[in-house]
Chain A
Amino acid sequence: MPEGTLCNKKPVNTREELDALLADKSGKLYYEEMKHLDVDKAALRATLEKTCKSRIRTWLEICAHCGMCADSCFFYLANDKDPKQVPSYKIQSTLGEIVKRNGDVNTEFMIYAMDTAWGKCTCCNRCGLYCPFGIDMGVMFGYLRGLCFSQGFVPWEMKIGSGMHRIFRAQMDVTPEDWVDTCQWMQEENEEEWPGLEIPVDKENADILYTVNAREPKHYPEDIAEAAILFHIAGENWTVPSVGWEETSLAMFAGDWEGCRMQVQEVYGAMERLKPKRMVVTECGHAYRATVIEGPYWAGIRTGKTPIPSFHYVEWVAEALRTGKLKIDPAKKIKEPVTYQDSCNYIRNAGLKECAREIMSYIAEDFREMSPCKEHNFCCGGGGGMNGVGRYREQRNIGLKVKRDQILATGAKLVIAPCHNCWDAIRDMEEVYHIGIRWSFLKPLLLKMVIVPDHLKPEE
C-alpha cells in the first residue's frame, strides 16, 4: 500500500517530520504524493462502524432533498447559487457516498471529499439552523474531516497544524520558554507607562487564568500587552500558565481528534495545577469552541464542562463594563458607524450574542447590526481553517463576498471582529476587494476609551 514520504496516513509527531513538510513549499510534493495515496478501505470501514452512529446515519438517510439549506450557505450564495454548493449536495456526495459504499472509495474520491470538506465548507453550522429536520451538515463535515485525516487526505497546512499541536501543544512553533519570554518582554516594554504592570506567570489560586492564541506570542505580542493592561486597569488578580497557555486547535480544523485531546488536556492541566477560579481566553472564536465547548468531550469529561468555569474574552469585557471594573470615557466612545462580526464559533455555536451587544452598548454611539446577525450571521468566509489553506485561497476569496456585502450594507467603515479568523478574513477582504473598511479587536479600542484611575497613571 503506497504511502508518500510527506503525504501519508501517519500524523506528524516529530520535529524532523514537521521540518520535512515545511520544507516542501506550498505542499507541492505533498499534493503530488496524495494522487497516489491508497485508501485503506478496511480501516475506513472499521472507523465507520465504530464512530458513524445513529445521529449521522439518520441525518444522511432522512434528508428530504428539499433544498432549504441552499440559501443558508454563504458559499452557495457567493458562487452565484451553484447547485454543487448546496450543503446537502456537498455532504451527500462525500460522506453520504462513503457511508453508502461502506468505505469502498478510491483515491480520487477521497481527494474530492477533502476538497469539499475543507474547500467548500467552513463548518460554520449555519445550515443546521435552516434544515427542518435539524440536519447539521457542519457537524457532518467535521466528522468527514476526521475520516479524511485518518486516511491522510488532509490539506498540507492542516497536516502541519495538527503536527504543531502534537509537538508544541500550540498551533505554531512557540515553546513554553518563547511564551514566557514574550510575556516578560511585554511586561518590561510597558511597565514604564504602566507602573506596577505585571504579567504573572504560574501564579496559583488567581481569579483569572488567561490563555491565548499562539499567533499572539508569535506575531502580535502587543495583544498580550493590551490584555495585561486591561486586566491591570480592571484590578484583576490574574495569571498566565507557562504550560497550557494555548487554546486554539488547528487539530480540530484538521480532524485530528487525538491531537485535539492532547491540546486541550494541556490547558486543563494548567487549570488543575494552578487552581484559578476561572479561565478567560483571548479574542479567538475557534479557541473557545475547541477548548471550552468541544474540548471536554475529547478529554472524556462526562459533565461536558472544563475543569473550571471558562469564559470568552467578550464575556469578561461585558462583565467588566457592567460592574464598572472598566469605565468608558463617554467623550471617547466610538462616534462613527460601527458594526460587529458575530463569530460562528462563540456566537452561533456557544450562545454569546448578548455579551457582544452589551459591550457595543457601552462603547459605540452608532452601532449597526449586520443582517442577518447573531446566531443567524454568516461566516466571515475564513473559518474552519479556510484562511490558512493555500489550495483553497481562490474559493476563500469568492466566499468573502457575502460578508463584504453584509458589511457594506451597514454603512459602517469600522468592523469589530473579536475573533482571530474573522479578523484575518476581514483584513484579507479589504486587500482583495478594496472597500475602504477598517477592522479591529476589542482590546486596542477599549484601551483608547477606558478611564485610567489616577493611581495607575505614571508619575509626571
Chain B
Amino acid sequence: MYELVTGPLAWLSFGVFFIGCLVRIVLYIRGLDWKLDRVTYTVNVSYGIRGALRSIGFWLFPFATHSWRQNPFLTILVFTFHIGLLFTPIFLIGHNVFLFERWGFSLPMIPETLADILTLMVMVSALFLLLRRLALPEVRTITDGMDYLVLAIAVMPFFTGYMAHIQASSYSFWLICHILSGEVMLVAIPFTKLSHFVNFFLSRAQLGMDFGIKRGGMKNKGMVW
C-alpha cells in the first residue's frame, strides 16, 4: 500500500496538479477578451503590469488593504491558515528526508516544533473558519456543501499528518491516510475552488489591469486597495 501511494499515485496526483494548474492558467488567459472584458490588455502594457502587481501585492499582506483591515478577525484566520498550509509541507523535515531518499536533494527545513505549531494553527484557524461560516448569516446564506468539502480536503492532510506524527495509534494507518489525503488535495486543486491557488493571482492581476489601464490607472497613482 505504501509503495502504491508513494509511487504511482504520487506521480499521478502531482501530474494532475501541475498539468491541471497549467491548463487553468492557459485557459484563463486564452479566455480573456479585450472587447468583452473592456480592457486593452495588450495596449498600455506598463500600466497594466503596474496595476496587476499592485493588485496582487497589496492583497498578499495582512491588513494591507481596506478590506483586510475591515475584517481583522477573518484576516488573521485567512493568513494563519494559508501560511501554515503553504509553508509546512514544503519545509517539513519529514517531507524533505523523504525527498532526499528518493531524489537525492532536499529543501531548507524548519524545526519540528515550528512545524507542529504551524500545523495546529492550520487546524485551529480552519475550525474557526468553519464556525464563522456557520455563525454569520451573511456567510451562511452563500455557503454550499462544496465550501465544507474543500475546507475538509485542505485540512485532512494536516490532521492525518499530525495524527501520524504524534503516533496516537497506528502510525502506518495514519501515514497512508496522510499521503492519500495530500494526493486528494493536489488533484482537487485544478478541479475545485481550490484552483484559487493559481486563479487568485490571475483574477487579481486581471482586475488590477482593468483599474490600471482603463479605470483611472493612467490618470492617478494607482488604486488604493
Residues of A with Cβ closer than 8 Å to B? 51, 53-55, 57-59, 61-68, 70-72, 76, 81, 83-84, 86, 88-89, 92, 128-136, 293-294, 297, 300, 302-304, 348-354, 372, 374-376
Contacts and interface: CB of A to CB of B under 8 A. Distances in A.
Contacts of B50: none
Contacts of B210: 136
A134 B203 contact: yes
Nearest to A347: B216
Interface of B: 27-40, 43-44, 55, 59, 66-67, 70-71, 74, 78, 133, 136-144, 147, 193, 195-196, 199-200, 202-204, 206-208, 210-211, 213-220, 223-225
A411 B195 CA distance: 47
B207 A62 contact: no
Nearest to A130: B67
B157 to A, nearest CB: 19
A81 B40 contact: no
Contacts of B139: 65-67
B222 to A, nearest CB: 9
B204 A133 contact: yes
B193 A54 contact: no
B193 A350 contact: no
B193 A64 contact: yes
Given A58-B28, A58-B202, A297-B38, 16 more contacts: A55-B203, A61-B195, A62-B203, A67-B139, A86-B138, A86-B141, A89-B141, A129-B223, A134-B59, A136-B207, A293-B215, A294-B38, A297-B35, A302-B40, A349-B215, A351-B223
30 contacts: A53-B32, A54-B29, A55-B32, A58-B28, A61-B193, A63-B193, A65-B142, A65-B144, A66-B139, A67-B136, A67-B138, A68-B71, A84-B141, A130-B67, A132-B67, A132-B78, A133-B200, A134-B55, A135-B203, A136-B207, A293-B214, A293-B215, A297-B34, A349-B216, A350-B216, A351-B217, A351-B218, A351-B223, A376-B66, A376-B224
A286 to B, nearest CB: 14
A306 B210 CA distance: 17
Nearest to B219: A351
A305 to B, nearest CB: 8
